[in-house]
Amino acid sequence: MEDISVPFSEVHYLTIEKVGNVPVTKGNFQSLPAHVQTWLAQMIQLCTPKAVYISDGSQEEATIVTKKLVDYGQLSPLKKYENCYICRTDPRDVARVESKTFIVTNDKHSSVPHSREGAKCILGLWMSPQDISKELDTRFPGCMTGRTLMVIPFSMGPVGSPLSKIGVQVTDSYYVLLSMRVMTRVSPDIWRHLAHGEEFVRCLHSVGVPLPAAQPIVNNWPCNPEKTMIVHFPDPRKVMSFGSGYGGNSLLGKKCFALRIAGRIAKDEGWLAEHMLIMSITNPKGEEKFIAAAFPSACGKTNLAMLTPTIPGYTVQCVGDDIAWMRFDKKTGELRAINPEAGFFGVAPGTNMKTNPNAILTCLKNSIFTNVGETADSGFYWEGLEDETPAGTEVTSWTGEKYKLGEDKTKKSSHPNARFCCPARQCPIIHSRWEDPAGVPISAIIFGGRRPEGVPLVIESLNWKHGVFLASQLKSESTAAAEFTGKQIMHDPFAMRPFVGYNFGHYIQHWLDFEKDPNNKLPKIFHVNWFRLDENNKFLWPGFGDNIRVLDWIIRRVNNEDVADVSPVGLLPKKGSINLDGLDINWEKLLSIPKDYWTGDIEETLTWLDGQLGDDLPQDIRAEIQKQKDRISQLN
Ligand code: GTP
Ligand code: SPV
Ligand code: MN
């Protein structure tokens, strides 16, 4: 299998620069900041590529690389749209792999909590520097043989913003190069910001298939599933990812940097890096409020972030759909948030012109679709687009199977974790301040998950500590965003289980500590659940655009309107205080708090948190659990 490296530029052969004996086919290595050169030289020596390519993030570069990938067969154009491409992966490489994602520190417990004996810690996997070096030694040396090593300078957050951070990713995947260009800000300007030896996060990625390949490459998607490993070094701010080309495993600016590494930096520097969307809601009076919301993977962030309100007079604008970096302003005390990303890497199935028209409209140009189906007229197709695609349309599924829509209902066009990757600036409701270097002020923080049973539509926490407890007890049904199968209800505190980069007990304490500074204007904390089922397994709540009705209630609470009643589990909406015009809703079923359920749940939560965190579980959380237990016991 040939490498498809971009050809040498017109530069005369003799002037071609080399690093060691490896030619630089684009860019000027000598002009890079000295500390970057030092690190790159080590990576080149380790990975032994046949060429080095320094990306400039330009459209011209993207056009050339795209053409190469089309010729190679990894991408094919979706001719129905402008500059859109479809890609099918090796079916063994379709999602994040939590079981192969590690944090490496000298001290085990700066990465993972002191779990009780017998409790298998699922809040991060730690490996010692000695053990990881053995693993890495069987993977990285020579891993780019026959391939081109690309150098991608990128900023998480607007280039130059005091809230932003810089990374440099080395990769041997052109797909990653194109996707990073959408998801982050790739620019040669980055080098100027590193000119004086400034810190940057070192990100090394390889698909793990040196050439000639030892095994057949499936779907022109090189990967190495047996040896996949995603390794974080929070102390030296470094990521090494091997064997997977997919999403959070390979676009290292996203979960690896912006959550796991940034989370550690945030802890050290006194801010927050969270798995949260950021949006604004303007009510009929013209008052605008910004909120942030954390739901586990594939539980509704992208959909909420750009929802189309079903009640009149409200305007929603999107700032971000997956990650928020937030810090309390020293002067004003406001919690200010930026979206460190530049694109959306969104779940495709379920997205349509009814559920999320803004997402569809965002990805009609300059986008990459991975593991979706393709229609005979060169459009995308996935489950959820049935009503917008004529029956009888021929579809080629993500596995290459051809079938006609409507003929066999068992056929699936797309992998459930199929994704669109599109520039955020194309979103029709992107906020004019989405790149404001100062961030936007957050008035409410929402947590939520897929809870088929027992959990009401919305709960407001009683206070900050109770809110941090609500977030700590977050649970959700597992989804296809990671390697879990079936619909098990899993704990996912703060929607950060897979993404926390240090001891989870310290993480919860970090949240609690924000209360200690009287200058901090603490946002109210809420918990929502769009996914409660009735006895026929039907959703009790219509969700999507109708979620504005809950946001409206939340904002009224932010404005201290008297629309809530105290309950044992938190504040619940007074009957009639959520606008349900035009809906047929069973309020009792949607808002009830069954005593049996909550009694069992709080016991289970305590057992689980105590097992996972042991003595690292903050005392304040233990106290909140006890108080909630006492309150629940008084339920009728
Ligand atoms: P990640 O990108 O993995 O972090 O996911 P996400 O949290 O952004 O989830 P997303 O908005 O992409 O939604 C995932 C799935 O949940 C999609 O199939 C949606 O159609 C579905 N979904 C989103 N919001 C709702 C809702 O309000 N109700 C229901 N029933 N389903 C929803
Ligand atoms: C998630 O799983 O939460 C995602 C997709 O947003 S990935 O980029 O693969 O992490
Ligand atoms: Mn996510």
Ligand number nearest to the C-alpha of 347: 1
Q: How confident is the model at residue 10 (pLDDT cuts 50, 70, 90)?
A: very low
- Report the C-alpha gap between 307 and 286 in whole angstroms: 18
Pocket of ligand 2 (CB under 6 A): 96, 247-248, 254-255, 297, 322, 345, 481
User: What pLDDT score was predicted for residue 11?
Assistant: 47
Protein residue whose Cα sits closest to atom 24 of ligand 1? 300
Signed CA dihedral, 50, 52, 57, 58: sign only: negative
Place of tokens 């926390």: 500
Please say if 318 is a catalytic residue: no
Q: What is the dihedral of CA 11, 15, 18, 24, to 10 degrees?
A: -10
Mean pLDDT of 368-373: 98
Rounded percentage of the chain residues whose pLDDT exceeds 70: 98
Q: For 152, what's the count of Cα atoms within 13 Å in the CB-facing half-sphere?
A: 34
Q: For 453, what's the count of Cα atoms within 13 Å in the CB-facing half-sphere?
A: 12
> What is the tens place of the pLDDT at every residue in 88-118?
999 999 999 999 999 999 999 999 999 999 9
**Ligand 1 within 6 A of CB of 300:** yes
- Which DSSP string corresponds to 477-500? E--TTSS--S--EEE-GGG-TTT-
> Residue 271 is which amino acid?
W
Task: Pick 18-57+93-270's CATH classification: 3.40.449.10, 3.40.50.300, 3.40.710.10, 3.30.1180.20.
Answer: 3.40.449.10
Structure tokens at 487: 């619909």
Mean pLDDT of 577-600: 97
> What is the tens place of the pLDDT at every residue in 514-554?
999 999 999 999 999 999 999 999 999 999 999 999 999 99
**Ligand 1 within 6 A of CB of 295:** yes
Report the residue among 244, 254, 421, 497 best suited for mutation to probe ligand 2: largest number of ligand atoms under 8 A from its CB: 254
Report field, pTM of the whole predicted structure over 0.75: yes
For the CA of 277, the nearest atom of ligand 1: 8
**Ligand 1 within 6 A of CB of 447:** no
Q: Residues 252-289, buried b or exposed e (16+ Cβ, 10 A)?
A: bbbbbbbbbbbbbbbbeeebbbbbbbbbbbbbeeeebb
Task: State the pairing for strand pair 201-206/165-171.
Answer: parallel
**Ligand 1 within 6 A of CB of 349:** yes
**Ligand 1 within 6 A of CB of 352:** no
**351 C-alpha to center of ligand 1: Å?**
8
Whether the Cβ atoms of residue 527 and residue 462 lie closer than 8 Å to each other: no
- Domain 273-343+431-633 sits in CATH at 3.90.228.20
**344 C-alpha to center of ligand 2: Å?**
10
The domain spans of the chain are 18-57+93-270, 273-343+431-633
| Residues forming beta bridges with residue 533, ordered by sequence position | 539
Cis amide bond preceding 498, omega within 30: no
CA angle 97, 99, 102 (to 5 degrees): 95
- 3-state DSSP assignment of residue 211: coil
Tell me the average pLDDT of the chain.
96
Protein residue whose Cα sits closest to atom 7 of ligand 2? 248
Name the catalytic one among 299, 363, 421, 427: 299
> What is the tens place of the pLDDT at every residue in 461-500?
999 999 999 999 999 998 888 888 778 899 999 999 999 9
CA 411 remoteness from chain centre: 28
For the CA of 347, the nearest atom of ligand 2: 5
**252 C-alpha to center of ligand 1: Å?**
22
